[in-house]
Amino acid sequence: MKIMKFLSLVAFAALMVSCNGKNGVTNKPLETELDSVSYAIGMDVANNVKRSFDEFDNDLFIQGFVNGSDSTNLQIDAAKAQGLIRAYFQKKQQEEMAKRKEEAEKSKAEGEKFLAENKEKDGVKTTESGLQYIVLKEGTGAQPTTDSKVKVHYHGTLLDGTVFDSSVDRGEPTEFGVTQVIKGWTEGLQLMKEGAKYKFFIPGNLAYGLNPPPGEIKPNSTLIFDVELLEVK
């Protein structure tokens, strides 16, 4: 179980502190490979603590470790302690799930409203799946299929204009298989020909759905892409 492995690492760090008979920072120099490894483990534990806890009392943690190691002055029964840990992380998980659900419902509603208004605008076409697009420039070259690999330039934004990914900004086009991307891209690319520039408005269910990559994209987000199809391979 990841939680228990993590807590074991934290306990190891506390053991090092308690064995030195100090609760403070020693600023001991790193003179050997083992010194560096020991220090790196401590840093890794600290980073895990910061990611897992919004608030964490180092002194009480060390106190609990010391009391538990010599079975004296225990303020919580050992069996109860395990239950507290499980309950805490279960609560955190439930809170995170509730937050993601709220974000997903909000993003879905915002996307549906935007797409309903957008489809009435001049030049906007809507496919059967719900993908919307505008032809900025038609191409005259090859048209990709699901078996194709393509070279493109793109600029992706959220509905509020936030840029989350852009090969244009990086100054370097990218290549990938037509089926190696989100559904909206797979469908949209097959509407284009080499040399074309389209703007895609991709509903959340054709984008990342409930599992977006880390970053600015929320669950069920509608995404906007300017795409230039440079080459079909």
List, by residue number, the catalytic residues.
Answer: 154, 164-165, 182, 208, 225
Q: Write the burial class of residue 67 (CB in 10 Å: 0-12 exposed, 13-18 middle, 19+ buried).
A: middle
Amino acid symbol at 69: S
Residue 137 half-sphere exposure, CB side, CA atoms within 13 Å? 12
Q: What gap in Å lies between CA 152 and CA 173, rounded to an integer?
A: 5
Measure Cα distances from 98 to 64, 90, 203, 207 in Å: 31, 12, 22, 21
Q: What gap in Å lies between CA 93 and CA 72, rounded to an integer?
A: 32
Q: What gap in Å lies between CA 199 and CA 135, rounded to an integer?
A: 7
189 and 174 in contact (C-beta within 8 Å)?
A: no
Reading the block at residue 209, the tokens are: 């759905």
163 and 155 in contact (C-beta within 8 Å)?
A: yes
